[in-house]
Structure 1
């Protein structure tokens, strides 16, 4: 077969999937509002850790950029958030809390947050009224497991919360 093959040049350089930028204040309001709550928990339980930040990375050529919860230096670990947050603020808080937990645990090589009573890693759960919270699978006193440590954004030092004891 003979002939010439013609290729159209690409419209510009392909996006660098490893580049990122810090999200500016107000750019992704619901995600940033959720991150502010999670950062309350980070400040209370990891006082040496600077506040977490949102970073944006280019998506595919025809897809929106992707958001991640990162440490203050821009490091993150596989916790993609879509550019458009879920329908409600509690859903956004839950997604950001899970993303923050994944990044902190992988990058710091430690469990976060930790139940002060059982020294077990907490996990995301819901309070009886449906708010995202940190929960522990350990038994508490005479009550069987699991138990709620505090709503997301309400952790403080060991075993307490600003909004009252966990249920």
Structure 2
């Protein structure tokens, strides 16, 4: 696993749900694996790459995506594993292919509709430019302490 520092953060508004986008110190645009999977499944699961590989959805995702060394960031609480923009798009594509074949698991029933919302967001400018725009338009200050992290979570849920 490669742990990098966050250079900038921003919120991408996908329907009613904001998704936190990270720009890492090497310039890579990423999104948290648990957050995007929780968003796509309506909170039903926070599967990691290993669980995706073992699921029915694993047949629709590339071996490279499922086996690659993960990117991560360290927060005041824990490590957060990340998907790059390309992996995020591949996950969306895999969901649509699995749905077309009737092989999408019960936990993923809300995912195709949410994937369509995401793809509409990305259609105009592409995923990378959309993620970059989210960082510029709705920036979020990175948390430097556990207390700031808790305050941000409490403010976000209110």
Pick the TM interval, shorter chain.
Answer: 0.3 to 0.5
Give the TM-score normalised by the residue count of structure 1: 0.34
Give the TM-score normalised by the residue count of structure 2: 0.35
Greater radius of gyration (CA) = 1
Say which structure is richer in helix.
2
